[in-house]
C-alpha cells in the first residue's frame, strides 16, 4: 500500500513539476521554422520546429551577469497570440538559479514577416530588457502569469521579424506622410549632408525606399545599396514610426545594419525624421540625432497618390500593450498606412464635393440677382402707360393702367365728367306774311 501511494504521489509530482513540462506550442505555425532577422537584436535568430518542440537560438539576454542564448517554447495563449519562451540556461543570482521567461505577443504582417511586443516589465538587472525572472524552484504557472506586466510596452515599442531570403516579399505601403519623392538634407550631429539634387524616392515602388547615391554618395539608412523595404508602420500621437529592412546581401553591424527605424512627423509641407538602426526607441524624436544615426529634412519634389492594390499589402491587426490593464488585440490606436490613406482620401473627396455644391449655389444666386437687376433697369427705362389726369401743382399726373384697364369700358370718374350743356326751349317757327308790295311780273317785251 505504501509503495503504491508513494509511487502515485511521485508520478503526480513529476507531472506537475516544471522540469517535466514539455513544449506544447502550436502557434504561430510550422512555417516559422527557419532563420529570421529580428530588429530587436538587430541580427538573426534561428527558430527550429521539431514536432511540438519549438526552440530559438540567437536571442541573447544578459541578467545578473549571466547570459541566456537559447530558448524553448513552454506555454502559449492562442486567444491573445502569446508565446512564452523559457531560457535553456539559468540566471545566477547570488548562487541561486533563476529562470528567465520571454512572453511574445505576436501579429502576422505577411507570410514572411511579423511584429511582436514583449509582454513583461523592464528588468533593471537585465539592462531594462523586458524579461520575467523567477526562482527556478517555483513551479511554472500559466501564460497569463508571464504576460501581464504592470507597465507594458507602448504602441511604438514593437519589434519586426523578417524571414531570411524573403526580404523582397515583405514590403508594405508607406504611410501617406512618406509617400513622395523628396530632396533631403541629412545631419549626423556634426555636419550637414546632401541637399540640393539629392533624391529620396518612395514613389517608384510605394513599398521601397530608394536612394540615388549618384546625386549624394552619403550612405543613408545604414544601407550600402540604397534599397530598403517597408516592413511595418504605426502612428502614435503626432509621430509615425516606420521599420525598414535593408536589402543588402550582408551587413557589417557597424556602418550597415539589417533594420532601420524612421521616426517622422510633418513639418509644414516638409517631413522631419530621424534614422536609427534596430527597433524604434520610444525615447527618440524626429529632430533628435540618435547615437550613430542621423536626422533628415525631406522636401517633396512631388507626392504620389495612395492606392490600395498591392500583392504584398496585408491587412493586419495591431496590439496595444500600454499598461497592465490593457489587453492585446485589434485597436484603433495603431493605424495601418492603408487605413489612413483611405480615410484621408474619403475626407478630401467629400470636402471637394461639398465645395462644388456650394459654388454652384453661389453662381445660381448671382445669376438670378443679375437678372432681377436687368429687369428693374428695363422697367425704369419704359415710358409710363396710363391716362392723364388734371395737373396737380403745375405737374402733369399720369394714372398708370394695367392691360385689363386698357380693355375695360366703364363710366368715367365723376371728377372727369364734362359739364352738361344747358337746355333752352326751341324758338317758334316764324309765320310767313304776304308782301304788301309785290314785285311787278316779269314780262317778255320782245
pLDDT digits (tens, 9 = 90+) for 18-51: 333 344 688 777 778 889 999 998 878 888 877 6
The CA distance from 186 to 290, in Å, is: 13
pLDDT greater than 50 at residue 239: yes
State the chain's maximal CA–CA distance in angstroms: 210
Q: Is 162 exposed, middle or buried (0-12, 13-18, 19+ CB in 10 A)?
A: buried
Q: Residue 53: its pLDDT value, please?
A: 76
pLDDT in tens, 288-330: 999 999 999 999 999 886 655 443 333 333 333 333 333 333 3
What is the pLDDT, as a whole number, of residue 131? 97
Per-residue confidence (pLDDT) for residue 411, from 0 to 100: 61
The predicted-structure confidence for 42-100, as pLDDT tens digits, reads as follows 878 888 877 667 888 888 999 999 999 999 999 999 999 999 999 999 999 989 999 99
Residue with cell 478630401: 348
d(CA 173, CA 307) in angstroms, rounded, equals: 9
Q: Work out the mean pLDDT of the chain and round it to a whole number.
A: 79
Residue-level pLDDT at 381:
58
Report the percent of the chain where pLDDT is more than 90: 55
| Integer Cα distance of 260 and 168 in angstroms | 16
Beta strands in 28-179 (DSSP E): 34-38, 43-50, 53-63, 66-77, 82-87, 91-93, 96-110, 113-118, 122-123, 129-130, 132-135, 159-163
pLDDT tens readout for residues 386-408: 555 555 565 555 555 565 555 55
Backbone φ, ψ for residue 342 (5° rounding): -65, -45
How confident is the model at residue 229, as a pLDDT?
98
240 with 230: CB under 8 angstroms?
A: no
**Per-residue pLDDT, 62:** 94
How far apart are the C-alpha atoms of 297 and 195, rounded to whole Å?
9
pLDDT, residue 29, reads 77
Q: What is the pLDDT of residue 347?
A: 75
Handedness of CA 34, 257, 232, 154 (dihedral sign): positive
Q: In this model, does residue 331 exceed pLDDT 70?
A: no
Quick one: pLDDT at residue 356? 87
Higher-pLDDT residue of 342, 220: 220
Residue 20: predicted pLDDT: 35
- pLDDT at residue number 431: 56
* pLDDT confidence bin for 345, thresholds 50/70/90: low
Which of the given ranges, 27-41, 148-162, 360-374, has the highest pLDDT on average? 148-162
Question: Is pLDDT at 171 greater than 80 in this prediction?
Answer: yes
- Read off the pLDDT of residues 106-135 as tens digits, 9 standing for 90 and up: 999 999 999 999 999 999 999 999 999 999
Torsion sign, CA atoms 275, 277, 281, 284: negative
* Contact (CB, 8 A) for 276 and 286: no
pLDDT computed for residue 3 by the predictor:
41
Between residues 48 and 16, which one has the greater pLDDT? 48
Provide the grid cell at 35.
Answer: 532563420
User: Which helix (H) or strand (E) segment is 213 a member of?
Assistant: none
Look at residue 441 and tell me whether its pLDDT is greater than 90. Answer: no
Strands 294-303 and 270-277: antiparallel
Q: Given the C-alpha cell 490593464, which residue does it identify?
A: 325
The reported pLDDT for the residue numbered 334 is 37
Confidence of residue 365 (pLDDT cuts 50, 70, 90): confident
Average pLDDT in the 216-227 region? 97
pLDDT at 434: 55
Amino acid at each position: 500500500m505504501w509503495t503504491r501511494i508513494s509511487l502515485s504521489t511521485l508520478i503526480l509530482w513529476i507531472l506537475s513539476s516544471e522540469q517535466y513540462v514539455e513544449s506544447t506550442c502550436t502557434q504561430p505555425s510550422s512555417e516559422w521554422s527557419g532563420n529570421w532577422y529580428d530588429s530587436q537584436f538587430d541580427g538573426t535568430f534561428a527558430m527550429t520546429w521539431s514536432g511540438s518542440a519549438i526552440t530559438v537560438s540567437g536571442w541573447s539576454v544578459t541578467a545578473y551577469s549571466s547570459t541566456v542564448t537559447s530558448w524553448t517554447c513552454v506555454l502559449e495563449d492562442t486567444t491573445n497570440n502569446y508565446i512564452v519562451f523559457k531560457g535553456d540556461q539559468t540566471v545566477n543570482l547570488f548562487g541561486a538559479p533563476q529562470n528567465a521567461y520571454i512572453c511574445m505577443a505576436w501579429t502576422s504582417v505577411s507570410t514572411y514577416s511579423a511584429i511582436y511586443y514583449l509582454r513583461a516589465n523592464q528588468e533593471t538587472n537585465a539592462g531594462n530588457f523586458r524579461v520575467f525572472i523567477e526562482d527556478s524552484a517555483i513551479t511554472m504557472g500559466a501564460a497569463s502569469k508571464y504576460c501581464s506586466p504592470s507597465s507594458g510596452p507602448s504602441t511604438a515599442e514593437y519589434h519586426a521579424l523578417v524571414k531570411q531570403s524573403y526580404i523582397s516579399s515583405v514590403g508594405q505601403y508607406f504611410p501617406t506622410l512618406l509617400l513622395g519623392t523628396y530632396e533631403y538634407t541629412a545631419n549626423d550631429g556634426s555636419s550637414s549632408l546632401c541637399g540640393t539634387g539629392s533624391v529620396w524616392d518612395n514613389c517608384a515602388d510605394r513599398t521601397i525606399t530608394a536612394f540615388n547615391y549618384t546625386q549624394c554618395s552619403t550612405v543613408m539608412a545604414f544601407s550600402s545599396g540604397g534599397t530598403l523595404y517597408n516592413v511595418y508602420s504605426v502612428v502614435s500621437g503626432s509621430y509615425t514610426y516606420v521599420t525598414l529592412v535593408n536589402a543588402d546581401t550582408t551587413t557589417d553591424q557597424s556602418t550597415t545594419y539589417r533594420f532601420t527605424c524612421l521616426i517622422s512627423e510633418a513639418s509644414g509641407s516638409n517631413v522631419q525624421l530621424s534614422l536609427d538602426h534596430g527597433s524604434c526607441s520610444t525615447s527618440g524624436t524626429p529632430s533628435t540625432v540618435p547615437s550613430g544615426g542621423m536626422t533628415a529634412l525631406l522636401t517633396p519634389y512631388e507626392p504620389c497618390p495612395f492606392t490600395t492594390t498591392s500583392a504584398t499589402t496585408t491587412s493586419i491587426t495591431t496590439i496595444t500593450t500600454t499598461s497592465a490593464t490593457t489587453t492585446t488585440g485589434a485597436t484603433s490606436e495603431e493605424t495601418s498606412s492603408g487605413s489612413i490613406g483611405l480615410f484621408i482620401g474619403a475626407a478630401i473627396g467629400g470636402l471637394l464635393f461639398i465645395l462644388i455644391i456650394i459654388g454652384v449655389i453661389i453662381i445660381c444666386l448671382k445669376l438670378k440677382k443679375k437678372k432681377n437687376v436687368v429687369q428693374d433697369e428695363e422697367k425704369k427705362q419704359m415710358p409710363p402707360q396710363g391716362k392723364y389726369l388734371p395737373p396737380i401743382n403745375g405737374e402733369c399726373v399720369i394714372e398708370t393702367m394695367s392691360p385689363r384697364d386698357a380693355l375695360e369700358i366703364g363710366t368715367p370718374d365723376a371728377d372727369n365728367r364734362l359739364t352738361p350743356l344747358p337746355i333752352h326751349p326751341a324758338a317758334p317757327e316764324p309765320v310767313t306774311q304776304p308782301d304788301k308790295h309785290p314785285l311787278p311780273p316779269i314780262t317778255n317785251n320782245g
